[in-house]
Structure formats: C-alpha cells, structure tokens
Amino acid sequence: MALWQVDERFRLLVDSAKGYAIYMLDAEGRIATWSAEAERIKGYRAEEIIGKSFHTFFTPEDIQGGVPEQMLRTAREEGEARYEGWRVRKDGSRFCVEGVIHGHTGRKRCPQWLFEGGARRHRPQAGRGGAAPE
C-alpha cells in the first residue's frame, strides 16, 4: 500500500471519530492538524486554529498555573499525559474533557497527538468559578 493511501485511510478514521477532538501538536504545542469533530466541539475552523498554541483552549487559571506546559512535558518524558479538566471553546463557553496527549519519549522535536473526548457544554454559574452542565 502506498504511503498516500495510508495517510488517506488515517484521515478518514480521524474524521469519522464522533465525540472526540483529535488533532496533532508540534513539539512546541502549536496545532498542526485539525479534524472535523475538533471543529464541531471547539468551534474553530482549521484555517483559524492551525499554527496557534493549544493554550488557546485552556482556562486563564490553567495557563497561569502552567498546566499546558506540564502536559507537554509529561507527554514528552513519559510517552503520554492523561488529564481531565475544563477547556474553552471559541465562543468562550467552557466544557469538561477527558483527554490524552501521546508523545514520543525523549524526542523533543516529534509531533504529539491529542485526543479529547467527553465534551459537554457548560454555562458559568453566578458567583462561582465553576460551571454547571446544560
């Protein structure tokens, strides 16, 4: 099978996965690929988000706490980083995800795959930092 056929089959697999935002990050955490389901879940079109940092999806509190950098470091050092937490869509709404970043141990320049699932829309609760499911 030719390499282009493998690539095409993989693209079909990624695009058919429902309920999961699957995309690839470069070694610095910039979005390198984008799937149709990632667009549906997060609200960004590929041309808007490719090349941007995946920090874009984190809450200000997580960014300030260094969560994105820690996740990339863990994926690089241990081969993967599993997490559960709040993310932010293009429209500003927050949603809870479970996800995993698959990295390449010891290879700092290799891309990493990110899989996020279990996304549910949440609306902010007045007077609290959290959110309630819709």
Give the domain 3-126 fold.
Beta-Lactamase (3.30.450)
Q: Is 133 in contact with 122 (CB distance < 8 Å)?
A: yes
Domain coordinates of the chain in residue numbers? 3-126
The per-residue DSSP string of the chain comes to --HHHHHHHHHHHHHH-SSEEEEEE-TTSBB----HHHHHHH---HHHHTTSBGGGGB-HHHHHTTHHHHHHHHHHHHSEEEEEEEEE-TTS-EEEEEEEEE--TT-TTS-EEEEEEEEEEEEEPTTSSSEEE-
pLDDT at 106 over 90: no
Q: How far apart are CA 30 and CA 33, in angstroms?
A: 9
Which pTM was predicted? Answer: 0.74
Average pLDDT over residues 39-61: 95
User: Quick one: average pLDDT of 46-55?
Assistant: 96
In terms of pLDDT, which residue wins out, 40 or 5?
Answer: 40
Residue 126 has what pLDDT? Answer: 38
- State mean pLDDT over 44-52: 97
**Residue 44: its pLDDT value, please?**
97
Q: Given this model, what pLDDT does residue 91 score?
A: 96
pLDDT range class, residue 69, cuts 50, 70, 90: very high
In whole angstroms, give the CA distance from residue 68 to residue 52: 13
Residue in the block written with tokens 């479970």: 98
- Report which of 96, 12, 21 is spatially closest to residue 62, judged by C-alpha positions: 96
pLDDT tens per residue across span 11-36: 677 777 788 888 888 878 899 889 88
